[in-house]
Amino acid sequence: MPDSRPFDAQCRRCQRLATFLEEVRHQHPDYVAAPVPSFGDPKARLLVVGLAPGMHGANRTGRPFTGDHAGLLLYAALHAAGFSNQPEGLSPDDGLVLTDCRITNAVRCLPPANKPLPLEIRACNDYLRHELQASPAPSVVLALGQVAHQAVLMALDLPRKTYPFGHGAGYRLPGGPWLLSSYHCSRYNTQTRRLTPEMFAAVLARARACLDAGVP
């Protein structure tokens, strides 16, 4: 199995992303504009995996899904399902605490146009693998979007064709966690109603049920 490495806040292995972050720091000197660490309980049984930091969200604040539109739906749904102490995540000092939940991204650095290249997803995958290996069993991984879904499979050395992405899809992975998938809670998906709050709440409710029962 490929290597597993703990998160490196000084990572510069992807030259395109490192260069882009330098440009962003110049344009927005008050932004964190650096690789974004995971947030939440490192021993949580629910691991939420997003795509990458948003320009004016996690890239600005330094905390996943914090301060942008995608975080509005995510944190509200996590709170409703009992995974957080409050329904909003606006800034790293807002008092938000996750319970039995941890949030990370398939790619830790802001990509241009929010579109990481395949080689960048592969380069960052050992950090995701480390997160997965740290999760206790039984556990649930919630992948937000196809890129995150496929990154989880890559980290577990599993074939994509055996576990295709689909909103609401659920798989018991061999030797690993349950994998649940959802459309990403991006502004585009929510404004076009591809993903509604009710749809997202149903996925979080299933994750809660999986953990409570030990089965999906």
- Distance between CA atoms of residues 67 and 69, nearest Å: 7
Q: Which are the contacts of 191, defined by CB distance < 8 A and separation ≥ 6?
A: none
> What is the pLDDT, as a whole number, of residue 137?
72
**What is the domain partition of the chain in residue ranges?**
15-213
- pLDDT beneath 70, residues of the chain: 1-3, 138, 215-216
- The two tokens of residue 201 are 């709440």
- Distance between CA atoms of residues 211 and 86, nearest Å: 20
> What is the pLDDT, as a whole number, of residue 216?
46
> What is the pLDDT, as a whole number, of residue 215?
54
Does domain 15-213 correspond to CATH entry 3.40.470.10?
yes
Find, among 110, 135, 139, the residue nearest to 4 by Cα: 135
> What is the pLDDT, as a whole number, of residue 136?
81
> What is the pLDDT, as a whole number, of residue 161?
96
> What is the pLDDT, as a whole number, of residue 58?
97
Torsion of CA 131, 49, 208, 76, to 10 degrees: 130
Helix axes 146-155, 125-134, angle to 10 degrees: 70
Contact of 65 with 74, CB cutoff 8 Å? yes
> What is the pLDDT, as a whole number, of residue 2?
52
Q: Which are the contacts of 129, defined by CB distance < 8 A and separation ≥ 6?
A: 1, 2, 3, 4, 5, 155, 156
